[in-house]
Every structure is written in C-alpha cells, then in structure tokens.
A and B are shown apart, each in its own frame.
Chain A
Amino acid sequence: MDGAVGAVAAVAAPPSSEPPQPLPDLDTEGFWQATARGELALCRCHDCLLWVQPPLERCPSCAGPTSFQPVSGIGRVFSFIVVRHPAVSGFEHELPMVVAIVELEEQVGLRLTSRIVGPLEEVEIGSRVVAELVALPGGDFHAPVFRPT
C-alpha cells in the first residue's frame, strides 16, 4: 500500500566498512572519467564560460551546452570541520579527519567539499590548498583531496 502512495521502503542494509561510492549519471560521468585519467575537470558552459558544479547538461544561466574542462585545483578553505564521530561507514580508521569546503580560484562560489590531507593543525579558513587525486577504496573511482600549500 505504501508503494502506491509514493513512499519508499526503509533501508535496512548491514553496516559497511568501505566508503560510499559515487553513482555517476550522464551529467556527472565526465567528472569521474577525468579523475580516472588523473585530471580534475569541472563542468563549464561553452557560451558564457560559467563553471557549473554540480554538473548539468545545460548551463543554468544561459542554457548553453557544457563540457568538462580542466581546473587548476588551487583554492582556499571556505570552511572546515574536524570529523571525530564515525557516522559514515568507511572512515572509522581515518578519524579524526578534516573535511573542508574548498573554493576554487577559477570562480567565486565554485566549490568542492573534500578531505584535507596533511597536518591537520595547518588548516584554517583561508588556507591555500591544492588538489591531488587519490584512489577511493572499495571501487574503481578516484577522488580529489586537497593539501595545504
């Protein structure tokens, strides 16, 4: 009966010790194809040159076509947390870890949320960081992390 009224089944999978994996779709797969090549590339509008993250098939500003273009990977820490409670599977042995919103130099407001690697005490809002790509355990994906420079 619940299915008929639009509800979804409660999730009851067993806890996992592997980190969650991305599930790419037609709009996002270019990001993951780039990281597999060792490149950080983000969605950009051909017509007005706006960077668009998360990616879209068309530019939200001018509706122009988009494609994935390389970025420098250089940015600054916009905000950060120190994760100490193992709320998400796959990181139990990594704690404490720093997760930050990084604003990339290409565009005001162009941000990625990622782990910060290196000495935790060096992380502050405004810290300059640079991306590197790491293999994500438990699958075939590579993801960007950031290191203070």
Chain B
Amino acid sequence: MARTGCAITGIGRTTFTRRSGRTTLAMAAEACRAAVADAGLTMPDVDGMIAFQAGDSVGPLSVSRAVGIPELAWNIDVLGGGNVVANIVATAGAAIDAGLCRAVLVYRSLNGRSGYRFGTSTSRQQVGGEMQFDAPHGYLVPPQWIAMWARRHQHEYGSTCDDLGQIAITQRTHATANEHAINRSPLSLDEYRAGRWINEPFRIYDCAYEIDGAVAILVVGPELAESCAVAPAWLIGSADSQSGDGWTQWDDPTSMYSRHAAPRLWNRTGLSAAEIDVACMYDCFTYTVMATIEDFGFCAKGGVGEYFSSGRATYGGDVVVNPHGGLLSEGYIHGLNHYFEAALQLQGRAGERQVPDARRALVTAGAGPYGGATVLSADRP
C-alpha cells in the first residue's frame, strides 16, 4: 500500500515576487516557521526535513539551523525538479510510518526569476551524459522538450493551440481570486493568441511563470495530526513513475509518466477521477496539464480543450483544476505550491476561491517521462 497514516497539517509560504532580494535560506526559513506555527506546533516538535533542488536552493541542515532546530533525526536533500515532489512527500510519510521521525518539514525555496532560471541555459558550455546529443542543437530546456511533445499530440489527436489556451485562460480566471498569485489579470483567447511565440506550438502563456519564493508543508503522523491547530489533509495514496527513456526516445509523447502512475494510483486508492474535487495538476506548461488530465482519466484523448472551454474544469463542473491559478498564474514554486493549495482547500481555508465541500484532492508533480501524484483527503482513512 502506498497509504501512510500521515497528513499534511501546517502550511507556510513567503510572498511570491519577481525579485526577492533575499537568500533561498532566508525564504526557506520563513516558510518553514510559518508552516510550524500554522500547525500550532513549535520547532522542537519537528525532527525531520526533506527538500529538493537543482543546485538553486539550500539544504535541510542550513535551514534547520536557521529556524532553531538543534539537530534532525532524519533528513534528505534530493537533487531533482518537479518530478520528485510527489515522491518526497510520500517519502516523508513513509519515514514517519517507519518510526524514523515524527514531524517532517517539506520545503522548496528558489529565486526562480532573479536567480537560476529553468527555462534558459546560458552557462552550460559543455554537456555530458545523454544530453550531449541535444546540446549542439540548443535543445536543452523544458519549454522546448514539452512543446515538442505537444506538437505530436496535435498531430495524433487534432488538439490545437486554442485548446492549450483554454487551460491557460481557465487557470488565469482562477488566479484572479488569489491575492498570492503573481498574474491576476484575466486572459482572453485573443490575448492568448497574440502572445509571443516561445517555441511553436508554445506561446508565452503556455509557460509557467518563474518567480522567487518558498513554500513549506508539515507532514506528521496520525496522533500529532489530530492534535494540530488545523485540520489534517490526509495522505491517502501516492504513485510515481520515472523512465530513463528521456525526452527523445520516449515512445509516445501524447502521454506522460502519468500513463503508468495514474493506474497505479487509482489501483492503490480504489478511487477514480470522478471522485476528485480539486485537481492541482502540475503545469510547468499547458500541455503538461493536457496530457496528464487525459492520463488520469478526467477526459478522453483529444478532449481537453472542450473539457476546459465547456466549464468542466472549474467551479460548478466536474473538478476544479488549479484553483490557485497553478504554476502558470500563481507562480512556479516547482510544484510544492500545489500541495499548499490542496491542503488549504481540504481544510476549507481557501476563502474566495474555496471549492465547495472539497473532500479529496489530486496533486500531480512532474512532466514527460518523470513524475508522480498524491491523493489527499479531508477524511481520515
């Protein structure tokens, strides 16, 4: 079973900005303090930390010192991107279940706009490993890889750029009610179409908005969860799938990691897409939402544009997809902000953008051959 007895309780974050003027350490410490305070706990209650980074963040030992935790019973610092988030949340729960620790801060801190930017590559002069074959053609960054995959989907299923635009538009509409989002102006289809090309078929509005900031979530065991100041968002299932086939050799770019992870997740939880109220779908790019929405079974292949344009992915529809606006509009905290939002919704604390009677949330993390997903529930399993 990929079910732990654990829950997310406290959640914390910094403001999201274009230029923080702060270190990743300072921001991580602020987010972690906020998460622990939100749970109604104190730092001595925390004995575990796990984080992920791409050489652009700060490790648990530095952060534990910054928040006044003298030592950690358990910590891991993972080198990786959005594809590892579901796995590290699950691993935090598994570590607690195994008795290795009792309360784990999971955090991500990055100066994603003013510092190292994922969408560019200006410093890698020599590229080794499998990407050395792509390097001479400048094919080194995610907005290229995933646009390449989107084109194949358009070829096989007749999906269009306007379909991708419907995802961006719906999420932007959601972000208008989120004061924490970096992009809150409504987006029309005409504005979407007028957006500048990045890599055809992607325009600027198909790409996550890179920002500076930090998010932390606190994962605790069942006894501690019931005694926290906020309602637990229970981790009721998790599944991962990571493939070595990479961005060129992966056989079918009309599906992503989720073609394996989704059946694994639904099998483990006994649930299906129909039983999900809130779906925080990893949206480094619009096409990532398109492919994973299909793989998780929310709608048929090729139907995502209609699914969004007809209102099935918003309030009053089948499921609310990215009520915070997602990485496209709230900002790119590398997917950990999706866990923040899912917990907030299940705790009934989302204010103006609260999804009515939100009981179960799906959070996905990753794109292409690499990713995972979590189901969170307001009800103790």
* Contact A114–B199 (Cβ < 8 Å): no
* Contact B248–A5 (Cβ < 8 Å): no
Contacts of A129 in B (CB 8 A): none
- Shortest Cβ distance from B320 into chain A, in angstroms? 31
CB < 8 Å neighbour of A115 from B137, B143, B148, B248: B137
* B interface secondary structure, majority: mixed
* Contact A109–B251 (Cβ < 8 Å): yes
- Shortest Cβ distance from A39 into chain B, in angstroms? 16
* Contact B121–A88 (Cβ < 8 Å): yes
* Contact A80–B148 (Cβ < 8 Å): yes
Name, among B53, B133, B137, the residue most crowded by chain A CB atoms within 10 Å (CB to CB).
B137
* Contact B144–A83 (Cβ < 8 Å): yes
Contact with B along A80-102 (1 / 0, CB 8 A): 11111101111100000101010
* A interface secondary structure, majority: loop
* Contact B155–A9 (Cβ < 8 Å): no
* Contact A7–B155 (Cβ < 8 Å): no
Kindly state the separation between the CA atoms of A9 and B116 in the bound complex, as whole angstroms: 12
Kindly state the separation between the CA atoms of A55 and B232 in the bound complex, as whole angstroms: 48
Number of A-B contacts (CB under 8 A): 168
Contacts of A10 in B (CB 8 A): 55-56, 115-116
- Shortest Cβ distance from B363 into chain A, in angstroms? 25
Is B198 on the interface with A (CB-CB < 8 A)? yes
Kindly state the separation between the CA atoms of A83 and B77 in the bound complex, as whole angstroms: 34
* Contact A11–B124 (Cβ < 8 Å): yes
CB < 8 Å neighbour of A88 from B130, B141, B152: B141
* Contact A23–B126 (Cβ < 8 Å): yes
Is A33 on the interface with B (CB-CB < 8 A)? no
Contacts of B381 in A (CB 8 A): none
Is A53 on the interface with B (CB-CB < 8 A)? yes
Kindly state the separation between the CA atoms of A13 and B124 in the bound complex, as whole angstroms: 8
Contacts of A81 in B (CB 8 A): 144, 147-148, 151, 199-202
B117 (CB) vs chain A CBs: closest residue: A87
Contacts of B248 in A (CB 8 A): 101, 111-113
* Contact B136–A89 (Cβ < 8 Å): no
* Contact B200–A84 (Cβ < 8 Å): yes
- Shortest Cβ distance from B149 into chain A, in angstroms? 7
A92 (CB) vs chain B CBs: closest residue: B138
* Contact A113–B127 (Cβ < 8 Å): no
Is B125 on the interface with A (CB-CB < 8 A)? yes
Kindly state the separation between the CA atoms of A22 and B134 in the bound complex, as whole angstroms: 8
Is B119 on the interface with A (CB-CB < 8 A)? yes
* Contact A89–B122 (Cβ < 8 Å): yes
B245 (CB) vs chain A CBs: closest residue: A109
Within 99-122 of B, Cβ neighbours of A (below 8 Å) are at: 115-116, 119-122
A124 (CB) vs chain B CBs: closest residue: B155
- Interface locus among B2-10, B57-65, B371-379: B57-65
Kindly state the separation between the CA atoms of A136 and B133 in the bound complex, as whole angstroms: 12
Is B185 on the interface with A (CB-CB < 8 A)? no
- Shortest Cβ distance from A137 into chain B, in angstroms? 10
B251 (CB) vs chain A CBs: closest residue: A109
Kindly state the separation between the CA atoms of A38 and B126 in the bound complex, as whole angstroms: 22
Contacts of A90 in B (CB 8 A): 138
CB < 8 Å neighbour of A1 from B62, B79, B115: B62
Contacts of A143 in B (CB 8 A): 136-137
- Shortest Cβ distance from B178 into chain A, in angstroms? 27
Kindly state the separation between the CA atoms of A25 and B133 in the bound complex, as whole angstroms: 12
- Shortest Cβ distance from A121 into chain B, in angstroms? 12
* Contact A88–B126 (Cβ < 8 Å): no
B124 (CB) vs chain A CBs: closest residue: A20
- Shortest Cβ distance from B258 into chain A, in angstroms? 19
Kindly state the separation between the CA atoms of A58 and B53 in the bound complex, as whole angstroms: 32
CB < 8 Å neighbour of A23 from B56, B58, B128, B147: B128
**25 residue pairs A–B, Cβ–Cβ below 8 Å:** A1-B59, A5-B60, A8-B55, A11-B123, A15-B123, A20-B126, A22-B127, A22-B132, A22-B135, A23-B126, A25-B128, A31-B133, A79-B151, A79-B152, A80-B151, A81-B202, A83-B138, A84-B198, A85-B197, A88-B138, A88-B139, A88-B140, A101-B148, A101-B248, A111-B248
B residues apposed to A, CB below 8 Å = 53, 55-62, 75, 77, 79, 115-116, 119-130, 132-141, 143-144, 147-149, 151-152, 155, 196-202, 246-249, 251, 253
Known: A19-B138, A79-B253. 12 other contacts (CB 8 A): A7-B59, A10-B56, A11-B123, A11-B124, A13-B125, A22-B128, A54-B130, A80-B148, A83-B138, A84-B196, A87-B144, A109-B249
